[in-house]
Amino acid sequence: MMEDSLSPASITNSLDTRFIGQRVIYYPRLTSTMDMARREAQQGAAEGTIVVADEQTAGKGRLQRDWLSPKGSIALSIILYPSLLHLPFLIMIASLAVVHSIETVTGLKSQVKWPNDVLINSRKVCGILIESEMRGDRVDYAVIGIGLNVNLRISDYPEILSIATSLYDELGEEVSRLSLIQRLLAEIERLYLSLPAAESVYQEWRDRLVTLGKKVRVKSGENMYEGIAESVTSDGSLLLRQLDGSLTGMVAGDVTLVVN
Protein backbone atom coordinates (compact mmCIF):
# COMPACT_ATOMS: atom_id res chain seq x y z
CA MET A 1 0.00 0.00 0.00
CA MET A 2 1.37 3.44 -0.91
CA GLU A 3 2.79 5.61 1.87
CA ASP A 4 0.06 8.18 2.44
CA SER A 5 0.39 10.13 5.68
CA LEU A 6 -2.78 11.77 6.99
CA SER A 7 -1.09 13.85 9.68
CA PRO A 8 -2.55 17.30 10.44
CA ALA A 9 0.49 18.95 8.87
CA SER A 10 0.26 16.93 5.65
CA ILE A 11 -3.43 17.78 5.25
CA THR A 12 -3.17 21.52 5.96
CA ASN A 13 0.03 21.98 3.98
CA SER A 14 -0.92 23.70 0.69
CA LEU A 15 -4.64 23.21 1.47
CA ASP A 16 -6.45 25.91 -0.47
CA THR A 17 -9.33 26.65 1.91
CA ARG A 18 -10.27 29.54 4.19
CA PHE A 19 -11.52 27.50 7.13
CA ILE A 20 -12.53 23.92 6.29
CA GLY A 21 -9.66 21.64 7.23
CA GLN A 22 -7.49 24.40 8.67
CA ARG A 23 -7.77 22.61 12.02
CA VAL A 24 -7.26 18.85 11.85
CA ILE A 25 -7.66 16.33 14.66
CA TYR A 26 -6.02 13.09 13.57
CA TYR A 27 -6.12 9.58 15.04
CA PRO A 28 -4.36 6.49 13.68
CA ARG A 29 -7.23 4.44 15.12
CA LEU A 30 -10.55 5.64 16.50
CA THR A 31 -13.96 4.18 17.27
CA SER A 32 -15.84 6.86 15.29
CA THR A 33 -14.89 10.25 13.83
CA MET A 34 -18.55 11.27 14.16
CA ASP A 35 -18.54 10.70 17.92
CA MET A 36 -15.34 12.70 18.36
CA ALA A 37 -16.52 15.53 16.09
CA ARG A 38 -19.79 15.73 18.01
CA ARG A 39 -17.88 16.18 21.28
CA GLU A 40 -15.67 18.83 19.69
CA ALA A 41 -18.70 20.72 18.34
CA GLN A 42 -20.41 20.63 21.73
CA GLN A 43 -17.29 22.28 23.14
CA GLY A 44 -17.37 25.05 20.53
CA ALA A 45 -14.75 23.85 18.06
CA ALA A 46 -13.95 26.25 15.22
CA GLU A 47 -16.11 25.87 12.13
CA GLY A 48 -14.40 23.69 9.56
CA THR A 49 -12.56 21.57 12.13
CA ILE A 50 -12.16 18.03 10.83
CA VAL A 51 -11.64 14.75 12.62
CA VAL A 52 -9.90 12.11 10.52
CA ALA A 53 -8.80 8.56 11.28
CA ASP A 54 -6.71 6.02 9.41
CA GLU A 55 -8.99 3.34 10.78
CA GLN A 56 -12.38 3.27 12.55
CA THR A 57 -13.31 0.37 14.80
CA ALA A 58 -16.99 1.31 15.27
CA GLY A 59 -17.90 3.48 12.30
CA LYS A 60 -21.60 4.17 11.85
CA GLY A 61 -23.72 4.71 8.79
CA ARG A 62 -27.33 5.80 8.56
CA LEU A 63 -29.96 4.11 10.72
CA GLN A 64 -27.25 3.01 13.19
CA ARG A 65 -25.78 0.54 10.74
CA ASP A 66 -22.12 -0.40 11.02
CA TRP A 67 -19.75 1.21 8.53
CA LEU A 68 -16.58 -0.68 7.65
CA SER A 69 -13.53 1.64 7.78
CA PRO A 70 -10.30 -0.38 7.64
CA LYS A 71 -6.90 1.03 6.77
CA GLY A 72 -6.83 2.30 3.21
CA SER A 73 -10.20 4.04 3.48
CA ILE A 74 -11.03 7.67 4.25
CA ALA A 75 -13.02 8.32 7.41
CA LEU A 76 -13.53 11.96 8.29
CA SER A 77 -16.06 14.27 9.89
CA ILE A 78 -16.44 18.03 9.39
CA ILE A 79 -17.91 20.43 11.95
CA LEU A 80 -20.13 23.21 10.58
CA TYR A 81 -22.48 25.83 11.99
CA PRO A 82 -25.04 26.34 9.21
CA SER A 83 -28.25 28.32 9.32
CA LEU A 84 -31.50 26.40 9.59
CA LEU A 85 -32.27 27.40 5.99
CA HIS A 86 -29.08 25.75 4.75
CA LEU A 87 -29.20 22.58 6.85
CA PRO A 88 -31.06 20.45 4.23
CA PHE A 89 -28.40 21.28 1.65
CA LEU A 90 -25.53 19.67 3.57
CA ILE A 91 -26.26 16.21 2.14
CA MET A 92 -26.27 17.75 -1.33
CA ILE A 93 -22.95 19.59 -0.99
CA ALA A 94 -21.30 16.57 0.61
CA SER A 95 -22.50 14.24 -2.19
CA LEU A 96 -21.42 16.65 -4.91
CA ALA A 97 -18.05 17.27 -3.26
CA VAL A 98 -17.35 13.53 -3.22
CA VAL A 99 -18.39 13.13 -6.86
CA HIS A 100 -16.31 16.10 -7.99
CA SER A 101 -13.26 14.97 -5.98
CA ILE A 102 -13.33 11.41 -7.30
CA GLU A 103 -13.62 12.72 -10.85
CA THR A 104 -10.82 15.29 -10.43
CA VAL A 105 -8.32 12.98 -8.72
CA THR A 106 -9.05 9.69 -10.52
CA GLY A 107 -11.08 10.47 -13.64
CA LEU A 108 -13.76 7.97 -12.53
CA LYS A 109 -17.40 8.89 -13.04
CA SER A 110 -19.75 8.41 -10.10
CA GLN A 111 -23.40 8.97 -9.33
CA VAL A 112 -25.54 9.71 -6.29
CA LYS A 113 -28.16 7.31 -4.97
CA TRP A 114 -30.80 9.06 -2.88
CA PRO A 115 -30.37 10.06 -0.19
CA ASN A 116 -26.70 9.71 0.67
CA ASP A 117 -24.68 7.08 -1.23
CA VAL A 118 -22.14 7.61 -3.98
CA LEU A 119 -21.93 4.80 -6.53
CA ILE A 120 -19.50 3.72 -9.21
CA ASN A 121 -20.85 1.16 -11.68
CA SER A 122 -23.91 0.67 -9.43
CA ARG A 123 -21.81 -0.25 -6.38
CA LYS A 124 -21.36 1.83 -3.26
CA VAL A 125 -18.01 3.56 -2.94
CA CYS A 126 -18.95 6.20 -0.35
CA GLY A 127 -21.48 6.77 2.41
CA ILE A 128 -22.39 10.14 3.90
CA LEU A 129 -23.95 10.83 7.27
CA ILE A 130 -25.30 14.18 8.50
CA GLU A 131 -25.93 14.74 12.21
CA SER A 132 -27.14 18.00 13.71
CA GLU A 133 -28.24 19.39 17.06
CA MET A 134 -31.00 21.97 17.33
CA ARG A 135 -31.61 24.54 19.99
CA GLY A 136 -35.10 25.89 19.48
CA ASP A 137 -35.27 27.04 15.86
CA ARG A 138 -31.49 27.42 15.60
CA VAL A 139 -28.90 24.87 14.48
CA ASP A 140 -26.45 24.41 17.33
CA TYR A 141 -24.03 22.50 15.09
CA ALA A 142 -23.92 20.02 12.23
CA VAL A 143 -21.41 17.31 11.40
CA ILE A 144 -20.83 15.83 7.95
CA GLY A 145 -19.38 12.33 8.07
CA ILE A 146 -17.80 10.82 4.96
CA GLY A 147 -16.61 7.24 4.54
CA LEU A 148 -14.89 6.56 1.23
CA ASN A 149 -13.48 3.23 0.03
CA VAL A 150 -10.15 4.22 -1.48
CA ASN A 151 -7.35 1.63 -1.42
CA LEU A 152 -9.37 -1.37 -0.25
CA ARG A 153 -9.49 -4.63 -2.10
CA ILE A 154 -13.17 -5.37 -1.66
CA SER A 155 -12.56 -9.09 -2.18
CA ASP A 156 -10.86 -9.05 1.23
CA TYR A 157 -14.20 -8.09 2.83
CA PRO A 158 -16.83 -10.69 1.83
CA GLU A 159 -19.50 -9.04 3.98
CA ILE A 160 -19.68 -6.10 1.52
CA LEU A 161 -18.51 -7.81 -1.67
CA SER A 162 -21.95 -7.87 -3.31
CA ILE A 163 -22.76 -4.18 -2.78
CA ALA A 164 -19.52 -2.20 -2.55
CA THR A 165 -16.55 -1.15 -4.62
CA SER A 166 -13.41 0.90 -4.06
CA LEU A 167 -11.38 3.33 -6.10
CA TYR A 168 -8.56 0.78 -6.16
CA ASP A 169 -10.84 -1.93 -7.54
CA GLU A 170 -12.21 0.42 -10.21
CA LEU A 171 -8.82 1.82 -11.28
CA GLY A 172 -6.57 -1.15 -10.69
CA GLU A 173 -4.10 1.05 -8.84
CA GLU A 174 -3.86 2.87 -5.54
CA VAL A 175 -4.97 6.49 -5.09
CA SER A 176 -3.51 9.17 -2.85
CA ARG A 177 -5.89 9.57 0.08
CA LEU A 178 -4.16 12.85 0.90
CA SER A 179 -4.91 14.31 -2.53
CA LEU A 180 -8.52 13.15 -2.27
CA ILE A 181 -9.01 14.67 1.18
CA GLN A 182 -7.53 18.01 0.17
CA ARG A 183 -9.71 18.15 -2.95
CA LEU A 184 -12.74 17.06 -0.93
CA LEU A 185 -12.28 19.77 1.70
CA ALA A 186 -11.83 22.44 -0.96
CA GLU A 187 -14.98 21.29 -2.80
CA ILE A 188 -17.07 21.22 0.37
CA GLU A 189 -15.98 24.73 1.28
CA ARG A 190 -16.67 26.04 -2.22
CA LEU A 191 -20.16 24.55 -2.25
CA TYR A 192 -20.91 25.54 1.36
CA LEU A 193 -19.99 29.15 0.65
CA SER A 194 -22.21 29.08 -2.45
CA LEU A 195 -25.32 28.22 -0.42
CA PRO A 196 -26.86 31.69 -0.53
CA ALA A 197 -27.46 30.66 -4.16
CA ALA A 198 -28.62 27.19 -3.14
CA GLU A 199 -30.75 26.57 -6.24
CA SER A 200 -27.71 25.67 -8.35
CA VAL A 201 -26.52 23.16 -5.73
CA TYR A 202 -29.97 21.56 -5.61
CA GLN A 203 -30.20 21.37 -9.42
CA GLU A 204 -26.82 19.71 -9.86
CA TRP A 205 -27.51 17.24 -7.04
CA ARG A 206 -30.89 16.39 -8.58
CA ASP A 207 -29.29 15.86 -11.98
CA ARG A 208 -26.70 13.48 -10.47
CA LEU A 209 -29.30 11.24 -8.82
CA VAL A 210 -29.29 7.81 -10.40
CA THR A 211 -32.52 7.03 -8.51
CA LEU A 212 -34.84 9.32 -10.46
CA GLY A 213 -37.08 7.80 -13.09
CA LYS A 214 -36.53 4.30 -11.71
CA LYS A 215 -38.98 1.87 -10.13
CA VAL A 216 -37.95 1.56 -6.50
CA ARG A 217 -38.94 0.25 -3.10
CA VAL A 218 -38.44 2.64 -0.21
CA LYS A 219 -38.35 1.46 3.39
CA SER A 220 -39.17 4.37 5.68
CA GLY A 221 -39.50 3.46 9.33
CA GLU A 222 -41.71 0.38 9.51
CA ASN A 223 -43.41 1.15 6.19
CA MET A 224 -42.54 -0.07 2.70
CA TYR A 225 -43.49 1.93 -0.40
CA GLU A 226 -43.16 1.06 -4.08
CA GLY A 227 -43.38 3.22 -7.16
CA ILE A 228 -41.44 5.47 -9.49
CA ALA A 229 -38.89 7.86 -8.00
CA GLU A 230 -40.29 10.89 -9.79
CA SER A 231 -38.34 13.85 -8.44
CA VAL A 232 -36.77 15.47 -5.38
CA THR A 233 -37.73 18.71 -3.68
CA SER A 234 -35.33 21.50 -2.79
CA ASP A 235 -35.19 20.25 0.82
CA GLY A 236 -33.93 16.87 -0.38
CA SER A 237 -37.17 14.89 -0.03
CA LEU A 238 -37.88 12.16 -2.59
CA LEU A 239 -41.20 12.34 -4.45
CA LEU A 240 -42.46 8.81 -5.02
CA ARG A 241 -45.28 8.14 -7.48
CA GLN A 242 -46.91 5.09 -5.94
CA LEU A 243 -48.63 2.30 -7.83
CA ASP A 244 -52.07 3.80 -7.07
CA GLY A 245 -51.01 7.10 -8.67
CA SER A 246 -50.59 9.05 -5.44
CA LEU A 247 -47.50 11.18 -4.89
CA THR A 248 -45.72 10.73 -1.55
CA GLY A 249 -42.86 12.78 -0.16
CA MET A 250 -40.14 10.76 1.57
CA VAL A 251 -37.81 12.66 3.91
CA ALA A 252 -35.56 9.65 4.54
CA GLY A 253 -35.48 5.96 3.79
CA ASP A 254 -33.63 3.06 2.19
CA VAL A 255 -34.06 2.76 -1.58
CA THR A 256 -33.84 -0.49 -3.52
CA LEU A 257 -34.07 -0.60 -7.30
CA VAL A 258 -36.87 -2.91 -8.46
CA VAL A 259 -35.74 -5.19 -11.28
CA ASN A 260 -38.65 -6.59 -13.30
Q: Please indicate, yes or no, whether residues 90 and 204 belong to a single structural domain of this protein.
A: yes
Domain boundary among 208, 224, 242: 208
Q: Please indicate, yes or no, whether residues 201 and 235 belong to a single structural domain of this protein.
A: no
Question: pLDDT (tens digit, 9 = 90+) per residue, 41-80?
Answer: 999 999 999 999 999 987 565 445 556 788 899 999 999 9
Q: Please indicate, yes or no, whether residues 96 and 222 belong to a single structural domain of this protein.
A: no
Name the residue with higher pLDDT: 2 or 207.
207
Q: Please indicate, yes or no, whether residues 146 and 199 belong to a single structural domain of this protein.
A: yes
Question: How many whole angstroms separate alpha carbon 175 and alpha carbon 73?
Answer: 10
Domain count, the chain: 2
233 occurs within a structural domain: yes
117-120 and 111-113 beta bridge pairing: antiparallel
Whole-model pTM? 0.93
Question: Residue 99 belongs to what domain range?
Answer: 8-208
Task: Compute the 3-state secondary structure of the chain and give helix, strand, coil in percent, each to the nearest 5.
Answer: 30, 30, 40
Task: Read off the CATH number of the domain in which 75 is found.
Answer: 3.30.930.10
Q: Please indicate, yes or no, whether residues 182 and 246 belong to a single structural domain of this protein.
A: no
Q: Please indicate, yes or no, whether residues 17 and 136 belong to a single structural domain of this protein.
A: yes
What's the average model confidence in pLDDT over 208-237? 93
Asked whether residue 182 carries a pLDDT value surpassing 70, the answer given is yes
1 occurs within a structural domain: no
Sign of CA dihedral 79, 83, 87, 89: negative
Asked whether residue 20 carries a pLDDT value surpassing 80, the answer given is yes
Asked whether the beta carbons of 244 and 228 are under 8 A apart, the reply is no
Domain boundary among 208, 225, 245: 208
Task: Read off the CATH number of the domain in which 249 is found.
Answer: 2.30.30.100
Question: pLDDT (tens digit, 9 = 90+) per residue, 196-217?
Answer: 888 899 999 999 999 999 999 9
Over 191-258, what HEC string results?
Answer: HHHCHHHHHHHHHHHHHHECCCCCEEEEEECCEEEEEEEEEECCCCCEEEEECCCCEEEECCCEEEEC
Widest pairwise Cα distance in the chain: 57
34 occurs within a structural domain: yes
Q: Please indicate, yes or no, whether residues 163 and 249 belong to a single structural domain of this protein.
A: no
